[in-house]
Amino acid sequence: MSTPLILLILAIVAIVCYVVGTRHALAIAGGVSSKLHSRPGYYGTFVAICAVLPAAIVLAVWLVASPFYINSAVLGGFPEDVKAKSQAEQGLAFGMVSSLARGMDVLTLEEIDSVGADPVALRNALGAKGLPLAGDPEPYMVESAGDLNAMNKISNRVMTAVVLIVALIGAGLSYTRISHRFRARNRVERVILGALVVASSIAIITTIGIVMSMLTEAGHFFGRVPAWEFFFGTVWDPRFAAAGAAASEGQFGLIPLLLGTLYIGFVAMLVAVPVGLFSAIYMAEYASPKVRSVTKPLLEVLAGIPTIVYGFFALTTVGPFLRDISSKINGIATGDFANFIQAQSVLTAGFVMGIMLIPYVSSLSDDIITAVPRALRDGSLGLGATKSETIKKVVMPAALPGVVGALLMTASRAIGETMIVVLAAGVAARMQLNPFEPMTTVTVKIVSQLTGDLEFTSPQTLVAFALGITLFVITLCLNIYALFIVRKYREQYE
């Protein structure tokens, strides 16, 4: 039976158990539910949980574990000369076997008979069914594929039987436990609590997943390319070697990418920080409630626009505009109408990213500025300071730690931003300081190394995970530090 079907059966079992359990509990109480410890529905739920939960766990464990067991059994059945080969070749052979096995499921019995033991004919027959094979299968592979299919079939049957038996046993046992004094609600609530704990640990699992997946893949990468060459290399040139050619590995220097990331982020902050900060100050200190109620949501709309839209804006509007205006300026100044700002440049990407970051800076700082106690302002104004002096000399120093925290969080956004730089920053990994030239970033390279067809064995694709973990660590450090500053600051006034 297929897994969805088993799940459906389990769902039906759960509903039946609920109804039967509820009825049974009411019958025991003689129809007076107040004689029971819990409300009747809890007894039904208890029976349903006892039936389905263990069965579902068995199902999950079986589904995860059985492929490992079957695969190793099939690999063990390979002829000795194949077993003597390298891991990678065995893996290839096994991939062939499993696609053969999938194909033999599709073929009808007559077709298998007509093909017989001829591997070439088998390949053609599978190709006709829309299942192309990478190469001609060898006879032992066909045999192994048959074994694989047989084992899978047996495993599936046993699994179905075991799951259903476990469900029935669970239902039966729990059914017999229903009585007046049985504390069904406490049991059910304990299970619910368990589910809540599991749900909240998903956050932890995600983090572990991120770290583990990137560490293992990056580990493979560092097995090919020394870590110091990655972290301190100044040349980024990941040559995509032609398949099969023993070509050079290419160079994977992180420094040019990191410089580009930081440079573009710096330009973005140069735009976002003054604009965002002054907007926040104006909205918090000067604007009338009416103006504030219009401008604050308007600025926050900027944060709601997807970054791909900013990228497109940079690509089609800002980039060409800067290019044309630079060519005009150059023409007026020197008579030579060559543009000195490229359409894709640090400036374009940084400027547009800066606009995107304005609302992050402004709304975070706005919250922090408004949190500064009124008394501080009144004291300063009472001593004769003007409003701007109060802001500059009293409010901002008090808000500074929080603002710095907000800026750090914004900076981590700038570093992790992808779509704007993919479309507007260019792909050339260069080390230079001219903001009018294109540079590239870590995120751009992650995207460009991982789009398209890829195999998970070449350093060209694995490097993306090394870049990813670098990015993750940088943003994580920025965020934790920002969180630390903000928390520390918050304690001052509470």
Residue list 425-464, contact with another protein (CB under 8 A): 443, 446-447, 450-451, 456, 464
Binding map of another protein across residues 391-430, x = CB under 8 A, - = no contact: xx----------------x--xx-xxxxx--xx-------
**Which residue lies nearer to another protein by CB, 171 or 478?**
478
Contacting another protein within 294-353 (CB under 8 A): 295, 298-299, 301-302, 304-313, 315-317
Of 425, 400, 473, the residue nearest 267 (C-alpha): 425
Q: What sign for the dihedral angle of Cα 458, 460, 465, 466?
A: positive
Are 230 and 222 in contact by the 8 Å Cβ rule? The answer is: yes
**Which residue lies nearer to another protein by CB, 95 or 139?**
95
Instruction: Considering only the stretches 88-96, 373-381, 396-404, 470-478, report the one whose residues sit in contact with another protein under the rule CB under 8 A.
Output: 470-478
The angle at the Cα of 465, spanning 463 to 468, to the nearest 5 degrees, equals: 115
Compute the least distance from the CB of residue 108 to another protein, in Å: 24
Are 426 and 350 in contact by the 8 Å Cβ rule? The answer is: no
**Which residue lies nearer to another protein by CB, 264 or 277?**
277
Which residue in the set 83, 153, 239, 387 belongs to the binding site for another protein (CB under 8 A)?
387
**Which residue lies nearer to another protein by CB, 179 or 213?**
213
Contacting another protein within 350-369 (CB under 8 A): 355, 358-359, 362
**397, amino acid identity:** P
The angle at the Cα of 85, spanning 82 to 86, to the nearest 5 degrees, equals: 140
Q: What is the 3-state secondary structure (H, E, C) of 144-162?
A: HHHHHHHHHHHHHHHHHHH
Helix 139-177 and helix 40-76: axis angle, to 10°? Answer: 160
Which residue in the set 140, 282, 436, 481 belongs to the binding site for another protein (CB under 8 A)?
282
Beta-sheet strands, E only, within 51-176: none
Alpha-carbon torsion, ordered 354, 359, 364, 369, to 10 deg? 100
65 near another protein, judged by CB under 8 A: no
**Which residue lies nearer to another protein by CB, 175 or 236?**
236
Compute the least distance from the CB of residue 442 to another protein, in Å: 9
Residues 6+ apart with CB under 8 A from 224: 249, 459, 462
Instruction: Considering only the stretches 7-15, 149-157, 429-437, 479-487, report the one whose residues sit in contact with another protein under the rule CB under 8 A.
Output: 479-487
Contacting another protein within 198-227 (CB under 8 A): 199-204, 206-207, 209-210, 213-214, 216-217
**Which residue lies nearer to another protein by CB, 84 or 286?**
286
**Which residue lies nearer to another protein by CB, 204 or 332?**
204
Q: What sign for the dihedral angle of Cα 299, 303, 309, 311?
A: positive
User: Which residue matches tokens 């990813």?
Assistant: 468
**Which residue lies nearer to another protein by CB, 16 or 404?**
404
- Number of residues in contact with another protein, rule: CB under 8 A? 86
195 near another protein, judged by CB under 8 A: yes
Contacting another protein within 1-20 (CB under 8 A): none
Instruction: Considering only the stretches 124-132, 171-179, 222-230, 381-389, report the one whose residues sit in contact with another protein under the rule CB under 8 A.
Output: 381-389
**Which residue lies nearer to another protein by CB, 91 or 172?**
91
372 near another protein, judged by CB under 8 A: no
**Which residue lies nearer to another protein by CB, 8 or 165?**
8
Are 16 and 50 in contact by the 8 Å Cβ rule? The answer is: no
Compute the least distance from the CB of residue 43 to another protein, in Å: 15
Which residue in the set 1, 430, 475, 481 belongs to the binding site for another protein (CB under 8 A)?
475
Q: Is 237 helix (H, G, I), strand (E, B) or coil?
A: strand
The rounded radius of gyration (Å) of the Cα atoms in the chain is 33
For residue 154, CA distances in Å to 2, 66, 186, 284, 384 come to 13, 11, 40, 70, 88
Of 414, 262, 436, the residue nearest 339 (C-alpha): 436
**Which residue lies nearer to another protein by CB, 266 or 312?**
312
As a whole number of angstroms, the distance between CA 180 and CA 38 comes to 9
Compute the least distance from the CB of residue 341 to another protein, in Å: 18
User: What's the gap between Cα 235 and its chain centre?
Assistant: 29
Contacting another protein within 152-191 (CB under 8 A): 185, 189
Which residue in the set 372, 465, 485, 489 belongs to the binding site for another protein (CB under 8 A)?
465
For residue 32, CA distances in Å to 12, 39, 337, 390, 485 come to 28, 10, 94, 72, 60
Are 100 and 143 in contact by the 8 Å Cβ rule? The answer is: no
Compute the least distance from the CB of residue 80 to another protein, in Å: 29
**Which residue lies nearer to another protein by CB, 166 or 269?**
269
Compute the least distance from the CB of residue 226 to another protein, in Å: 22
Contacting another protein within 222-281 (CB under 8 A): 274-279, 281
